[in-house]
Structure 1
Amino acid sequence: MMWQSVRTKLTIVYLLLILFAMELIGAYFIQSLNRYFVDNYTKTITHEAQLLANVVGLPLSLGPAHSKHNLHSILQPISEISGATVYILDKDGIVIGTSGNPYITGQKRVDPEVTGALLGLKTEEIAVNPQNGQRYLYLAVPIRIHSRIKGAVELVAPMNSIYHSISRVIIIFATGTLLALVLTAVLAGIIARTITGPITAITRTARALAGGDFDQVVEIYSNDEIGELGATFNMLTRRLKQSLLSTEQEKRRLQAVMSTMSDGVIATNGHGNILLINPAAMHYLQVDQSIIGNKLSDLLPEVFTRESAQIVEVHTRFLAISIMALYPKERSNRIVSEELDAEFEEKNGHVYVMRDVTEETILEASRKRFVADVSHELRTPLTTIKSYGEALLEGAVEDVELAKNFLQVINRETDRMIRLIRDLLQLSRFDSGYEVLRKEVISTEELVQRLAERFALIVFQSEVQFITEVEENALVQVDRDRIDQVLDNIVSNSLKYTPKHGTISIQAEVDSYPEHVVLTLKDTGSGIPAQELPHIFDRFYRVDKARSRQLGGTGLGLSIAREIIQAHGGTIDVHSEFGKGTRVVITLPRYEGDRE
């Protein structure tokens, strides 16, 4: 953590800058110093060599014997003063005199410097002696007599003192550089602290803000850029606090709206992961909050499968896709998907809105079926009336008996249409809430007795046994005519499908909890197939369509009966077993008061 602080980084930067500057200056200084010492030393040795070449020129011209004696006396003092080894060579490169080892006199030197000097050039080179590893300056100048080269002077000067002096200067410079770095480090730390102190305070405040504490304030010590940064940070803190409060309020409002929505809402990111799901959507999909973060594509196949769902409609609407699916089979939902703009993601997310359209689907299907059924029911009698009317117009009226039969058919079909229209009007009044019940208090015994009296003759003619039983007489507050209509419809249906010598019974009893009256009508007729039972209360629904029409039924009787019973706050259920008979159970609230 220490190496990641701004103060440490600033200190290191200062040190590196100073070090770089010192190294740059040092390199230039040392290079210049080295060149200065070497150049001065080279000039000195060159001057001595040139002077020596002028001095030894005269003895060399007097002859070898004379020159050898004179050379020794000249070379020895110069060698002691300069510390260099001096070689005097003739024009063939043979050593004729030296201040060094006298045994090399008469030997030929083949150094490149000597060769250059014998050609009339001044040559020099700094090289390392392989015998002792020391650096030496090898310098040779030609000896000219009357513009003719008579030999050469070579000096081999050690440079240890020169480089020793340079090394001492480098050590002094390095010591100064190190001291400067230490002082710079101290000053850099102080300067960095003055810069990073306010930044550290702002950082602490920012951490507190990240933890939810919006009461923190940065203290401002100066009016410079850092002070302006602190003031701006304080202003940002206030605005952030206001924005978060506003966002939290909007979030609570959104959560309240989402929680109370009847439509399911699911939001996903660009990768299809669920970000949000409201209670309605969880109810539709039978999931909980744990699915947040999972992919929606992993969830949907488990819900919308071939066994549990059926795709009904798919269409494109702008950027939305609307899908109506049955989920499960008895429910119908519409899913609308809308694309969301995602500025910081590669792909856009989506919002899916699930709406339960079961009632709409059922009502639409019922409307279509109702229109088709009404059209069918009206078309048959109208076609019959038209056909018989045309026959009468074409001459059948001349035959009195035939005309009478035709008119009876027309009258019968007209009555059928009247009954159909009457039933439709009654259902319409129940649907719109305009049907008014004229309730009165009546006993169950009276209801059953009146029913038996109304059907006494019909039962006798049908050779069917009609049994009534009132286990406990109770009062109900009902619309007498409407309840009679329900009972008449049920008994009429039983008579239609109960064969001769069969039995029809009605039983009245009281159920104690909750206290209500139960009317049970049973017959020993042909019964209703199990697959037909869920639909017997549907409008225009007939179990045996051909026979029902022959017997004058409209297919609306049980629908009207259910509407009447439900309007009284009761229930009606049908239980049947094909081939063994049918049982209709009607419950009505019991009247607890006294009969007026």
Structure 2
Amino acid sequence: MKQYRNRLTLIILTLIGLSMVGAGLAMVKVFKDSHIRMLEQNMTREIKLLQATMEFADMNSDTAIDYYTDLALRLREISEVRVTFIKNDGTVIGDSEMDPRTMDNHADREEMLRAVEEGQGSAVRYSSTLNEDMLYVVLPVQAGTAYDGYIRLSVTLQAVDSGIRQGWMMMGAGLFVLFVIAAVVSYRVSREITSPLEKITKVARRISRLEYDARVDIQRKDEIGHLASAINGMADSLQTQLRTIRDNEDLLQSVLNNMTGGIIMVNQAGIIVLINRAAEEMLGVQAKVVTGKSYRELRQHYELTKLIEDGMASRSSFREERTLYPAESIIRMDGVTMVQEDGSYRGMLFHLQDVTDIRRLERMRSEFVANVSHELKTPLAAVKGFTETLLVGGVSDEKTARSFLQIIYDESERLNRLIGDILELSKIESKRIQMDYSPIHLSSFFDTITEMMRAVAEKKRITLDVDVSEELFLEGDEDKLRQIFVNLISNSVNYTQEGGKVEVTAREIPGGDNQDDMIEIVVKDSGIGIPKKDLPRIFERFYRVDKARSRGSGGTGLGLSIVKHLVEQHHGRISVDSEVGVGSSFMIELPILQEMNEM
């Protein structure tokens, strides 16, 4: 605002100065022109007087130059003007300042040209001889046959320039005094105007810095007072509106950031104007990188980019599913056309939902139904077939009949185990089982299990070793843990050739910062092993590496799936390492204490 006040003062002073300078220039021009006209008139009279009184010699004689030069010198002493005698052809035959013989022809001089055309000529120009501005006046003169040419008088304008300088000095002094007075007056006037404006400007700047409580404290009834009131009213309204906008933006941003579905908004020009956090995670991009750029920047996801392009071209809503690579996640995209109130097209809004788990569960459900149907159909078919044979009396031999009845019994047992495993897995997956945690002495625990499995192992001449320290204890559900390790050890025995070996080891793993101490239990065998392509799927329901052998051993295909869920119920982890023909190792890590992990 000080700059504005200084600028206003400067403008006033500049206007005054320009007015004074303009007036001075006009006065100088008038003074100079009038003085020059007076000099011209006097010099014209002097030339005419010389024409009437002077005695002229023959201008073509040999002594003409000397005569007229001497005459010019005498006239200069009398009149203090420069006198020049010039022939009609412009030749100088006498001059009071220079030797005529060295002077140029004067026929093309400005004053000579005017004298030829108008009968009298005058000019003001710079004299290179005297190095100052001169006034030249020329008249044609004829004195009988002796002289027919021109007489030129010239006088310096030094006196005129001196008078002009004095005028400028007087005008400068007056201008300075006027400037001082104008500066004081204009400063007071500009301060009266700009001081309240400065206060208003400061408040406006505070408001622009988001200080919405700033107000103008001016109590006046003039236009500035009205402006201050308007500023305060505007600040009140702005504060209320911005508070509402900020609340709405926070709410909208919170909704967008916490949505499980991705949101991408593309305007009519194909520019991404909005992308939320879920969409960033799905597409592996950053909002700050792609916002403000074309949707084609998502070119690494060609399928989605093509959907967006088709939607933008057709300007119609759609719903499609595409697979994104390399994560192989399935994304469902819903495209909705955005229009303004006047019906004009604004762009499109795209909603992205990761349906990978949903589709996986649907596939698993379908596979589960198919597998259960297949697993139930096999024993039921056997039971039905042998029963029908017995019913129609097709077997008369009692030994054969008993073998049929044994097969029916075995298949019903297998069917019973299958149904039991399905119900058990269903309860585990639905979190409906109760966990009864208690301290377990691992050495005694595994002695009981191996004693139960030893008869089966000895039948195949398989060595069953247990290496568990007497000092190891674990908190867990003993029945569920027994179910886990009976299943694993039983599988190891079943899939290990005669003369093989099954080992059970346990060791403590100290926990780090903010981590619990763990117990690692490894069930290792020297069996047939598992192909690497099957390792990621062995914990799936009904998945079998060797279907024929697993059915022959009476397996249901649910054992490892139950094991995995029971390990997770104990807040542990299970993993497997296997090599075909060498053997398999199942590693289970369980926390020693369950108090902090129990939900």
TM-score band, normalised by the shorter chain?
A: 0.5 to 0.7
Change in Cα spacing, 1:290 to 1:400, as seen in structure 2 (3 Å) is same
Instruction: Please give the alpha-carbon distance, in whole angstroms, between the structure 1 residues aligned to 2:270 and 2:497.
Output: 65
- The residue number in structure 1 matching 2:519 is 517
Instruction: Please give the alpha-carbon distance, in whole angstroms, between the structure 1 residues aligned to 2:236 and 2:581.
Output: 83
Instruction: Please give the alpha-carbon distance, in whole angstroms, between the structure 1 residues aligned to 2:472 and 2:376.
Output: 42
Instruction: Please give the alpha-carbon distance, in whole angstroms, between the structure 2 residues aligned to 1:292 and 1:507.
Output: 53
Shift of 1:377: 0.7
- The residue number in structure 2 matching 1:538 is 540
Shift of 1:229: 12
Aligned with 2:565: secondary structure? helix
- Residues 59-74 of structure 1 aligned to structure 2 (within 5 Å): none
Shift of 1:337: 1.8
- The residue number in structure 2 matching 1:505 is 503
Structure 1: runs of 5+ lacking an equivalent: 1-196
Shift of 1:533: 0.3
Change in Cα spacing, 1:526 to 1:347, as seen in structure 2 (3 Å) is same
1:382 aligns with 2:384: no
1:490 aligns with 2:492: no
Percent identity for Structure 1 against Structure 2: 34
Contact 1:397 1:403 in 2 (8 A): yes
Amino acid at match of 2:588: I
Change in Cα spacing, 1:470 to 1:317, as seen in structure 2 (3 Å) is farther
Q: What's the TM-score, normalizing by structure 2? A: 0.58
Aligned with 2:256: secondary structure? helix
- The residue number in structure 1 matching 2:334 is 336
1:419-456 C-alpha deviation (Å, 9 max, x unpaired): 01111111111122221233332211112211221122
Change in Cα spacing, 1:220 to 1:372, as seen in structure 2 (3 Å) is farther
1:69-110 C-alpha deviation (Å, 9 max, x unpaired): xxxxxxxxxxxxxxxxxxxxxxxxxxxxxxxxxxxxxxxxxx
Shift of 1:592: 10
Shift of 1:473: 2.9
Amino acid at match of 2:429: D
- The residue number in structure 1 matching 2:464 is 466
- The residue number in structure 2 matching 1:555 is 557
Aligned with 2:464: secondary structure? strand
1:121-179 C-alpha deviation (Å, 9 max, x unpaired): xxxxxxxxxxxxxxxxxxxxxxxxxxxxxxxxxxxxxxxxxxxxxxxxxxxxxxxxxxx
Change in Cα spacing, 1:576 to 1:213, as seen in structure 2 (3 Å) is closer
Q: Which has the larger radius of gyration?
A: 1
Change in Cα spacing, 1:367 to 1:503, as seen in structure 2 (3 Å) is same
Instruction: Please give the alpha-carbon distance, in whole angstroms, between the structure 1 residues aligned to 2:539 and 2:508.
Output: 25
Aligned with 1:332: secondary structure? strand
Instruction: Please give the alpha-carbon distance, in whole angstroms, between the structure 2 residues aligned to 1:542 and 1:280.
Output: 37
Residue of structure 1 aligned with 2:529, choices 518, 521, 527 = 527
Contact 1:281 1:354 in 2 (8 A): yes
Instruction: Please give the alpha-carbon distance, in whole angstroms, between the structure 2 residues aligned to 1:444 and 1:317.
Output: 67
Shift of 1:394: 2.1
Shift of 1:232: 9.5
- Residues 226-241 of structure 1 aligned to structure 2 (within 5 Å): 239=237, 241=239
Instruction: Please give the alpha-carbon distance, in whole angstroms, between the structure 2 residues aligned to 1:445 and 1:317.
Output: 70
- The residue number in structure 1 matching 2:297 is 299
Shift of 1:523: 0.8
Change in Cα spacing, 1:454 to 1:293, as seen in structure 2 (3 Å) is closer
Moved more, 363-372 or 416-425: 363-372
Aligned with 2:377: secondary structure? helix
Aligned with 1:323: secondary structure? strand
Shift of 1:290: 2.6
Instruction: Please give the alpha-carbon distance, in whole angstroms, between the structure 1 residues aligned to 2:591 and 2:565.
Output: 15
1:280 aligns with 2:278: yes
Q: How many residues align?
A: 395
- The residue number in structure 2 matching 1:175 is none
RMSD: 4.2
- The residue number in structure 1 matching 2:410 is 412
Shift of 1:541: 0.7
Shift of 1:579: 1.4
Amino acid at match of 2:280: M
Residue of structure 2 aligned with 1:372, choices 362, 370, 373 = 370
Shift of 1:274: 1.0
Shift of 1:585: 1.1
- The residue number in structure 1 matching 2:576 is 574
Amino acid at match of 1:564: L
Aligned with 2:534: secondary structure? helix
Contact 1:270 1:347 in 2 (8 A): yes
Change in Cα spacing, 1:244 to 1:587, as seen in structure 2 (3 Å) is closer
- Residues 159-174 of structure 1 aligned to structure 2 (within 5 Å): none
Shift of 1:577: 0.9
- The residue number in structure 2 matching 1:187 is none
Aligned with 2:529: secondary structure? coil
Moved more, 243-252 or 213-222: 213-222
Aligned with 1:450: secondary structure? helix
- The residue number in structure 1 matching 2:434 is 436
1:588 aligns with 2:590: yes
- The residue number in structure 1 matching 2:73 is none
- The residue number in structure 2 matching 1:451 is 449
Change in Cα spacing, 1:296 to 1:549, as seen in structure 2 (3 Å) is farther
Shift of 1:552: 0.7
Instruction: Please give the alpha-carbon distance, in whole angstroms, between the structure 2 residues aligned to 1:335 and 1:508.
Output: 49
Change in Cα spacing, 1:487 to 1:237, as seen in structure 2 (3 Å) is closer
Structure 2: runs of 5+ lacking an equivalent: 1-192
- The residue number in structure 2 matching 1:426 is 424
